[in-house]
Amino acid sequence: MMITKFTIPLPTIKISVSFRVLDVLAVSVLTWSLIRLARSARRRARAPRLPGPPTNSFIFGYPEVLMTPDGPDIYEAWAEKYGSVYQIPCTLGTKRIVLHDPKAIAHFYARETTTYILTPLAVWLTGIIVGKESMLTSHGEVHKRQRKSLTPAFSVAAIRKLSPIFYDSVYKAKAAWDTILESSPDGEIIEVQQCLDTIGVAGFSHDFASLSGSPSAVQTVFESLANAKPSPLFGILFVLAHLFPAMLSLPNPRTQMTKLLNESMGSISAVLLERSRKEGEGVLEEGESDRSIIGLLLKAGKADSELHMSQEEIMAQMKVLLFAGYETTSVSLTWALIELCRDQESQTKLREELSQLQTDPTWDQLHNGLPYLDAVVNEVLRLHPPLSETSRVSTEHDLIPLSSPLHSPSSTATFSSPTHLPIPPSTVVTVPIAAINRSVSIWGSDAKEFKPARWIEEGGIPGKAKGIVGYKHLLTFADGPRTCLGKGFAVAEFKAVLSVLIRNYAFEFKDGPGTKTDLAGGVMPRPKIAGEEGSRVPLRVRRIE
């Protein structure tokens, strides 16, 4: 009799159970969404009423539009219409405050890691790439401790010692190119991807072999991400992830490739740490300390270290440095060559300045002895910041000071203090870096042009631009407690590599000066020649005799 009670066919049971599971999941997601929306509605009720564009889509808002190459121009058009502080509609009816006001931006960056921290989506994405224990995601005292432990590796004295190694790396590229160009006086089409070796040798004493024709696993994953075709599914997931970051956990090729990048950088980091630990034993004199990047990380890993970091933290910092060295500097160098292909007069002028030197520039010359090289690098960093915007979420109430009084769009209400913007907790605030770097109202009518001379001519930097915080009045490296720790390293490397390339080679677009460029996907947007697959930037390279 017992058996007859369980004669229901097995498939029917499975289907019944699966429907129950799906029902539970659906109800859970719906309930969670309603709770989030209710909280968002309460936040909006407390938030200041600001002008801004109307909602174009309740579900997606504007993030999808702002991820396109036209994003900075859209931000600037809104600033012209709505003023230096406005709000935009985002995912599922949420709002985001956008700052163009210099005084407000300075205040915002000064309170990074305390009053303003990474959004849940940024933490999620950064965690997938480098781990959740890195300087990129930490805040408050943890961030301060991690940053302090690595600061000596990026001091002026430390970078000065590394400058010869920048040249060692770029001369690897030169040797390979000279072989290719030996029998081609009119030049050959070449792709330049050599930055990974530079950070590898200079920062970690490791050769990633990307110049010798043997791409590393890290390089392969970066290229796969850049060459991946746009996926409508991932686009939808990414936009919705602004409210529900866990949606990126759903199986999709891009997230899987990003996780592979994390694993590849982790494997390299583990090898480098172990090798450096063994090589360092017995090498240093008594009382001497290893102030290299890895040396400082190994010191922080000791239990008695004042700035102790866990092994997870150390691995995360290694991944951050690998990532920054390869992706960000490589992107900036590529943009430099593109702009100099467009502007042959500037390329010639830079070559003339560099040709006056009998040898490669010294550290002092790189630092402040080559005004036109400095101008070209500054202009590239202004027009093409690796990150186009900074978004943070507030952890507490704040009052952001403004350069000029701000009034509510309501005809019956103004702010109690029109010179300060009240920010409730859990408010997302965005600084559109690329838009401000190229703003006509800040940089003048030629703001969108590549014009190195603006950095040399008297009065070339407008007064409004001088009010912008950050390196050279640019937001490219952000500012405040989370300003790029390695900016001095990055600029010195940029100048060293570019000086060798321009002094020894002439660069042109293979299809003429009218060649158009576009952006390819990747961990960071990469430049590409319009019509080319992936992130390809094939240039005609000719040797300078």
Same domain, 15 and 64: no
Ranked by mean pLDDT, which of 220-224, 283-287, 422-426 comes out on top? 422-426
Separation CA 230–CA 227 (nearest Å): 9
When mean pLDDT is compared across 268-272, 455-459, 525-529, the lowest value belongs to 268-272
Question: Does 224 map to a domain?
Answer: yes
Q: Would you say residue 53 lies in a domain?
A: no
Residue 361 domain flag: yes
What pLDDT does residue 436 have?
A: 97
Residue 421 forms part of a structural domain:
yes
Decide if pLDDT at 28 tops 60: no
Average pLDDT of the chain to the nearest whole number? 81
Res 472: pLDDT: 96
What is the pLDDT confidence band of residue 194, given thresholds at 50, 70 and 90? very low
Is residue 51 included in any domain, yes or no?
Answer: no
pLDDT of residue 505: 95
Give the residue from 25, 46, 67 where a domain finishes: 46
Q: What pLDDT is recorded for position 413?
A: 44
| 14 shares its domain with 136 | no
**142, exposed or middle or buried, with CB in 10 Å at 0-12, 13-18, 19+?**
middle
Mean pLDDT confidence for 101-124? 94
Across 39-43, 221-225, 302-306, 495-499, least confident range? 39-43
Tens digit of pLDDT for each residue in 347-399?
999 999 999 998 999 999 999 999 999 999 999 999 999 999 999 999 999 99
Question: Which amino acid does the sequence have at 434?
Answer: A
Is 214 within the bounds of a domain? yes
Return the sign of the alpha-carbon dihedral for residues 381, 161, 322, 505: positive
Residue 479: the pLDDT is 94
Rounded Cα–Cα distance for residues 210 and 220 (Å): 10
Clarify whether residues 493 and 382 are in a common domain. yes
pLDDT at 151 over 60: yes
Give the per-residue pLDDT at 169. Answer: 76
Instruction: Tell whether 12 and 84 lie within a shared domain.
Output: no
> Which positions make up the binding site?
484
Please check whether residue 497 lies inside any domain of the structure.
yes
The boundaries of the domain holding residue 20 are 1-46
Residue 3 has pLDDT above 50, yes or no: no
201 band by pLDDT with thresholds 50, 70 and 90: low
Report pLDDT for 193: 58
72 lies in the same domain as 40:
no
Same structural domain, 7 and 69: no
Quick check: 143 pLDDT over 50? yes
Compare 219 and 91 and report the one with higher pLDDT.
91
160 and 200 assigned to the same domain: yes
Average pLDDT over residues 390-416: 78
Kindly tell me if the per-residue pLDDT of 279 is higher than 70.
no
Q: Which residue has the higher pLDDT, 247 or 392?
A: 392
Per-residue confidence (pLDDT) for residue 265, from 0 to 100: 84
Look at 102 and 195; give whichever has higher pLDDT: 102
Query: What's the average model confidence in pLDDT over 181-207?
Result: 66
Nearest to 433 by CA among 151, 98, 126, 122: 98
Q: What pLDDT is attached to residue 25?
A: 46
Looking at residue 542, what is its pLDDT?
Answer: 94
Task: Count up the domains in the chain and report the number.
Answer: 2
Same domain? 427 vs 521: yes
Has residue 19 been placed in a domain? yes
CA distances for 345 relative to 140, 363, 372, angstroms: 47, 26, 12
More confident residue, 97 or 34: 97
Is 33 found in the same domain as 5?
yes
Contacts for 507 with CB less than 8 Å, ≥ 6 apart = 337, 340, 341, 347, 501, 539, 540, 541
Q: Are residues 169 and 38 in the same domain?
A: no
Q: List the CATH number of the domain containing 299.
A: 1.10.630.10
Mean pLDDT: which of 36-45, 271-280, 387-396, 535-544 is highest?
387-396
Following DSSP, what letter does each residue of 6-29 receive, concatenated? G-S-HHHHHHHHHHHHHHHHHHHH
Do 39 and 79 have their domain in common?
no
Alpha carbons within 13 angstroms on the beta-carbon side of residue 331 total 26
Query: Where residue 498 falls among pLDDT bands split at 50, 70, 90?
Result: very high
Q: Tell me what pLDDT residue 166 has.
A: 81
Number of DSSP helices (H) and strands (E) in the chain, helices first: 21, 12
Residues 6 or more apart whose Cβ sits within 8 Å of residue 170? 194, 198, 496, 497, 500, 501
Both 63 and 174 in one domain: the answer is: yes
Q: Give pLDDT, residue 227.
A: 64
* Span 318-342, average pLDDT: 87
Residue 141 scores a pLDDT above 60:
yes
Residue numbers belonging to the annotated binding site for heme? 484
